Amino acid sequence: MTLENRLCHGDFHPYNLIMSDAGVFIIDWVDASAGDAKADVYRTYLLLSQFSEPLADLYLQLYCEKNKLSRQDIFQWAPIVAGARLSEKVALERPERLMNIVNHYCPL
């Protein structure tokens, strides 16, 4: 894996966007950190796919096209981000879904 140190939001999803006459603003930067943007993009994909696979796929497709990346570039972060998300113990997240992702990329 290559690592690029970039600003990462850490919790990017539609509820953290505000649209106004001046444009769209990203809010809730409390989980921001420095890290690899591809991990942040996969986390957003993971969050979106929990509720809408088509929306998650569209987000990923547009991001990859704009940044000249492949789905594989982003998905290399899948087991790491899914495992981290599992440790958050979010009530609305299904642990078995996250474990399936981890096991898919890291079989025993």
State the pLDDT at residue 72. Answer: 96
Supply the pTM of this predicted model. 0.91
Asked if residue 42 is part of any domain, the answer here is yes
Asked if residue 1 is part of any domain, the answer here is no
Asked if residue 23 is part of any domain, the answer here is yes
Helices (H), the chain: 37-49, 53-67, 71-75, 78-88, 95-105
> Per the structure block, which two tokens stand in for 39?
């991990």
Would you tell me how many other CB atoms lie within 10 Å of the CB of residue 72? 8
Asked if residue 99 is part of any domain, the answer here is yes
- pLDDT tens for 12-44 read 999 999 999 999 999 999 999 999 999 999 999
Q: What is the rounded distance in angstroms from the CA atom of residue 28 to the CA atom of residue 40?
A: 14
Give me the number of domains the chain comprises: 1
> Per the structure block, which two tokens stand in for 36?
């690899």
Instruction: Please state, in angstroms and as integers, the Cα–Cα distance from residue 91 to each residue in 31, 66, 107, following that order.
Output: 18, 33, 26
Which residue range is the domain that position 63 belongs to?
6-105
State the pLDDT at residue 92. Answer: 86
Q: What is the rounded distance in angstroms from the CA atom of residue 10 to the CA atom of residue 28?
A: 9
- Does position 1 have pLDDT exceeding 80, yes or no? no
- pLDDT tens for 49-72 read 999 999 999 999 999 999 999 999
Asked if residue 86 is part of any domain, the answer here is yes
State the pLDDT at residue 108. Answer: 77
